[in-house]
Structure 1
Amino acid sequence: MKFAVIVFPGSNCDSDMYHAIKDGLGAEVEYVWHDEASLEGFDGILLPGGFSYGDYLRSGAIARFSKVMNAVIEAANAGKPVLGVCNGFQILLEAGLLPGAMKRNEGLKFICRPVQLQVENANTMFTAGYTKGDVINVPVAHGEGNYECDEETLSRLEENNQVVFRYVNAINGSRNQIAGITNEQGNVLGMMPHPERAVEEILGSADGLKLFQSMLRNWRETHVTTA
């Protein structure tokens, strides 16, 4: 499995994501600049955190129009796994690949600390390595992580089990303490916490590694055949 880490002007978690895949997961990975028009040859697409285009207008609003996003949308529509973390999640929302929007955190303060997440859906290509109800430790680092959507969207997310991660304790005002959601097809995941910063114990937690391992295992199960 070959991963692409999309790099936008202002990305600052791209190297963390690269390290998580190359050294933590032991898989093939390359950086892909925002003005590339194709993602051919990549099996998994990763949108890292940071402050793409300085978060001008609002987080993710300008990055959504980068040339590479057409290829990201094509990959998502083709069923390839697409993971957006923090600013990557915000970009996926702006691109319409996930429903809802992000607001400033309650209290209007930047939050940067480890948090506890509960795994709400362990039946996805991103979470098969967990068990429903698991509580994992993953850090957050965001100023606009307050997830918002209308009542109809919220009901649909909950009924379809699209809420994958939920904060154990309220931290930023997100509706229903939502920390991560998938699209209806289950191949696009957006989450505010940073699993790539929790792939080895020296970082304080290795709980995030299972997410990437789940992606790799799913790909092998669906693409690798044995004689």
Structure 2
Amino acid sequence: MNRSSGWLLLCALHGVASMLLWWAGDSLVQTMIWRADTWASQPWTLWTSAWVHLNTPQLIVNQIALGTLAAFAWVVRPSWPCTLAWSLAWPLTQGTLLWWPHIGYAVGLSGPLHAGAMILAVQLMLQRIAVPKAGRWGGMLALGVLAKLALEQGWRNPVVWDSANEISVVRAAHLSGAAWGVVLALLLGFIGNRQRQQAAEGHRRFGESSPL
């Protein structure tokens, strides 16, 4: 399996699960939704709520964004640690919404998608993904996500009503996802640097102890 396989498999999981829940019965869907007051007794909703979409426009937009992220990953070939970071950001993004007490529930892939985009952006800027002009690609991706977050101002407007699609948009999930993406990507970079330093130190000591 190549470097991007894990990331693409996670994209496929998100896409397929979202479609399956779209066609599922309402009773099943309700058990998959993360709610601030019941999630502790239904911890699986930290993951499954991302697959629930309340109307067709929300589903289509997130599926298109997911496909775009998958296509980008196919080009840049993120590593397995990147996939692990994205997997961790998935439930963390949902759980962080507890910081906004008036958010009663949240559904959809938009939060994890923002996390995935920022993980790739930071890893590219840190030159941890070996592609030509990695820093430039990472900077452009990060700039796009940050500009979107700045326009949304999710810290001031965590939930807004989208009258065109008749749905509440939890902008705080976008902010939370992007923040966790940055944190986990930087942690990956720190761990990678430590491993390289330890490897270099090991080679140096081996060289000093080797007989002439």
With the length of structure 1 as denominator, give the TM-score of the two structures: 0.26
| Greater helix fraction, Structure 1 or Structure 2 | 2
Which has the larger Rg?
A: 2
Going by fraction, where is strand more abundant, 1 or 2? 1
Q: What is the TM-score normalised by the length of structure 2? A: 0.27
Considering Cα pairs closer than 8 Å and 6+ residues apart, tell me whether 1 or 2 has the greater RCO: 2
